[in-house]
């Protein structure tokens, strides 16, 4: 029964967060600082999620083939490669490092 209470509370909380977003006055959303933060926040969140998923396992810091794949993707991005090439480079390097025993 406790799981259903948690699900219900979470659903209500998500609804209230959405509702609060709709109730923000338009004048607040048009401020330059708010627009700049809204543009940069997803980038920071995605970078944090990528780092967390790449360098952690069971709550511990790990360095494994995923890090090499991320480095390859970063290099491909610096070289302005198309997105599919970036993904392919990350996959190929990660698989290669795993194949040689990383």
Per-residue pLDDT of the chain in tens (102 residues, 90 and over written 9) = 689 999 999 999 999 999 998 999 989 989 999 999 999 999 999 999 999 999 998 889 999 999 999 999 999 999 999 999 999 999 999 999 999 986
If one counts every other C-beta atom within 10 angstroms of the C-beta of residue 4, the result is: 8
Whole-angstrom distance, CA of residue 52 vs CA of residue 36: 25
Whole-angstrom distance, CA of residue 26 vs CA of residue 29: 5
HSE-up (13 A, CA, CB side) for residue 16:
6
Q: Copy the structure tokens of residue 70.
A: 């991320």
Whole-angstrom distance, CA of residue 98 vs CA of residue 87: 17
Q: Copy the structure tokens of residue 33.
A: 């600082």
Say if residues 46 and 73 touch (Cβ distance below 8 Å). no
Whole-angstrom distance, CA of residue 58 vs CA of residue 12: 30
């Amino acid at each position: 029964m406790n799981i259903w209470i948690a699900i219900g509370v979470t659903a209500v909380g998500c609804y209230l967060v959405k509702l609060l977003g709709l109730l923000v006055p338009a004048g607040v959303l048009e401020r330059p600082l708010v627009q700049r933060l809204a543009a940069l926040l997803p980038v920071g969140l995605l970078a944090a999620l990528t780092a967390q998923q790449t360098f952690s396992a069971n709550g511990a810091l790990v360095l494994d083939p995923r890090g090499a794949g991320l480095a390859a993707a970063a290099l491909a991005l610096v070289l302005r490669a198309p997105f599919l090439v970036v993904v392919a480079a990350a996959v190929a390097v990660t698989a290669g490092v795993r194949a040689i025993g990383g």
